[in-house]
């Protein structure tokens, strides 16, 4: 269950912060002070997620459209559009791919292309990813070597919807290494299923396994996530494009715990369970939320949400 450690450390360590430097956006415009019960009137955008020690994410906009997200270690996600729909996302930076609670030293670069069906609903995401490694310095030098390509992967995500509710039903992932001079084939898969209570996601289950010749084998890893005790107030993530939110969940295997960002409200309790154990034991998290006068959530699980007017 080492993939769970990142979230245990992250959620346990979160606490609030109030700093004057966070009261202005990049243009010098005033932000919503999360300690100001008067709130923000009129249209708003999510600008920052912060803890007592760091800024988790900072969101930048081109007019009304999300255009850039800056996260850990100045990692940058650029969001591009065709009309008002996300068409391409590029990421350059660092991720915790092994789930040990620390950003990997290997840098990651990926491009995702988004395909929509005739009704304008997101249908698939194709991804090309490269991972680069900077070798340790060779004594007597103290300068690390140049970043070199470690491996490349190709991944396809097929997104399915419920015929009865039109809500997100499942995401099927196929992935494999892209080796120069070798015919490409998908070698691993995952299947993610979503369950709802009203409009909010109540459970997510993801299975991982090998595949060969286009055939999926038996799952070897299974995780379950549950979200309960939703409030009736507004989630900060309703202000972000759904395509971007799905993309962020797919960035690493451990990000599934954050599937609540697809819900319009905020869960006060959530859990994650390694379903491959003989006797599954869930890891449980809970919180109380703060809200502003317009019922937007401003603090939960130790994260403070800063808004800006549009």
Tell me the C-alpha to C-alpha distance, in Å, between residue 115 and each of 102, 161, 308.
33, 15, 30
Residue 4's pLDDT band, with cuts at 50, 70 and 90, is very low
Residue 29's pLDDT band, with cuts at 50, 70 and 90, is low
**Number of other CB atoms surrounding residue 54 within 10 Å:** 9
pLDDT of residue 35: 43
- pLDDT above 60: residue 34: no
In contact, 160 and 171? CB cutoff 8 Å: yes
pLDDT of residue 40: 66
Q: What is the C-alpha separation between 175 and 188, in angstroms, rounded?
A: 5
Output 77 or 281, whichever has higher pLDDT. Answer: 77
Residue 2's pLDDT band, with cuts at 50, 70 and 90, is very low
Using DSSP, state whether 231 is helix, strand or coil. coil
In contact, 90 and 110? CB cutoff 8 Å: yes
- pLDDT above 90: residue 222: yes
The two three-digit tokens of residue 126, written as one number: 């194709």
| DSSP3 helix / strand / coil % (the chain, rounded to 5) | 15, 50, 40
Residue 28's pLDDT band, with cuts at 50, 70 and 90, is low
Residue 6's pLDDT band, with cuts at 50, 70 and 90, is very low
Q: What is the C-alpha separation between 284 and 226, in angstroms, rounded?
A: 9
Buried b (16+ CB within 10 A) or exposed e, 144-158: eeeeeeeeebbbebe
CA 235 to centroid of chain Cα atoms? 15
CA proximity to 69, closest of 40, 48, 88: 48
Span 31-46, average pLDDT? 64
pLDDT of residue 30: 52
Across 35-49, 95-109, 194-208, 224-238, least confident range? 35-49
Q: What is the C-alpha separation between 254 and 208, in angstroms, rounded?
A: 12
pLDDT of residue 226: 98
The two three-digit tokens of residue 148, written as one number: 């070199």
Q: What is the C-alpha separation between 54 and 206, in angstroms, rounded?
A: 30
- pLDDT above 50: residue 141: yes
End-to-end CA distance of the chain: 42
Span 260-265, average pLDDT? 98
Q: What is the C-alpha separation between 163 and 161, in angstroms, rounded?
A: 6
The two three-digit tokens of residue 167, written as one number: 């809500």
Burial class, 56, CB count within 10 angstroms (exposed 0-12 / middle 13-18 / buried 19+): middle
What digits encode the pLDDT tens for the residues 97-138? 877 777 888 899 999 999 999 999 999 999 999 999 877 777
- pLDDT above 90: residue 76: yes
Q: What is the C-alpha separation between 96 and 94, in angstroms, rounded?
A: 7
Span 178-206, average pLDDT? 97
pLDDT of residue 197: 97
- pLDDT above 80: residue 19: no
Beta strand pairing call for 75-82 and 85-93? antiparallel
- pLDDT above 90: residue 5: no
pLDDT of residue 41: 73
CA 111 to centroid of chain Cα atoms? 15
Residues in contact with 168: Cβ distance below 8 Å, sequence separation at least 6, in sequence order: 159, 160, 161, 162, 194, 262
pLDDT of residue 9: 38
Output 101 or 175, whichever has higher pLDDT. Answer: 175
- pLDDT above 60: residue 21: no
Across 55-59, 135-139, 226-230, least confident range? 135-139
In contact, 306 and 50? CB cutoff 8 Å: yes
What digits encode the pLDDT tens for the residues 286-308? 999 999 999 999 999 999 999 99
Angle, vertex CA 253, rays to CA 252 and CA 258, nearest 5: 85
> Mean pLDDT across the chain, nearest whole number?
87
CA proximity to 250, closest of 153, 127, 166: 127
Q: What is the C-alpha separation between 109 and 132, in angstroms, rounded?
A: 8
Q: What percent of the chain stands above pLDDT 70? A: 86
- pLDDT above 70: residue 14: no
Q: What percent of the chain stands above pLDDT 90? A: 72
């Amino acid at each position: 269950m080492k993939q769970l450690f990142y979230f245990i450390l992250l959620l346990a360590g979160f606490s609030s912060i109030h700093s004057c430097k966070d009261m202005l956006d990049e243009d010098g415009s005033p932000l919503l002070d999360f300690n100001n019960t008067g709130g923000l009137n009129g249209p708003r955008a999510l600008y920052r997620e912060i803890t007592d020690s760091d800024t988790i994410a900072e969101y930048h906009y081109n007019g009304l459209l999300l255009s850039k997200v800056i996260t850990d270690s100045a990692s940058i996600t650029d969001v591009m559009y065709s009309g008002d729909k996300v068409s391409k996302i590029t990421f350059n930076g660092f991720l915790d791919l092994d789930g040990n609670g620390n950003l990997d030293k290997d840098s990651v670069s990926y491009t995702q292309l988004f395909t929509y069906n005739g009704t304008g609903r997101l249908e698939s995401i194709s991804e090309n990813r490269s991972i680069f490694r900077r070798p340790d310095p060779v004594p007597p030098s103290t300068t690390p070597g140049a970043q070199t390509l470690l491996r490349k992967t190709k991944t396809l995500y097929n997104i399915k919807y419920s015929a009865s509710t039109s809500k997100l039903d499942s995401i099927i992932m196929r992935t494999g290494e892209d080796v120069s001079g070798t015919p490409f084939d998908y070698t691993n898969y995952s299947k993610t299923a979503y369950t709802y209570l009203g409009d909010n996601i109540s459970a997510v289950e993801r299975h991982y396994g090998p595949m060969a010749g286009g055939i999926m084998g038996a799952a070897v890893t299974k995780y379950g996530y549950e979200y309960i005790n939703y409030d009736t107030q507004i989630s900060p993530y309703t202000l972000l494009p759904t395509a971007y939110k799905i993309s962020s969940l797919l960035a690493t295997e451990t990000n599934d715990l954050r599937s609540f960002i697809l819900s319009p409200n905020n869960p006060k309790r959530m859990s994650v369970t390694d379903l491959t154990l003989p006797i599954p034991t869930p890891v449980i998290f809970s919180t109380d939320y703060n809200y502003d006068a317009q019922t937007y959530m401003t603090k939960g699980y130790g994260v403070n949400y800063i808004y800006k007017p549009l």
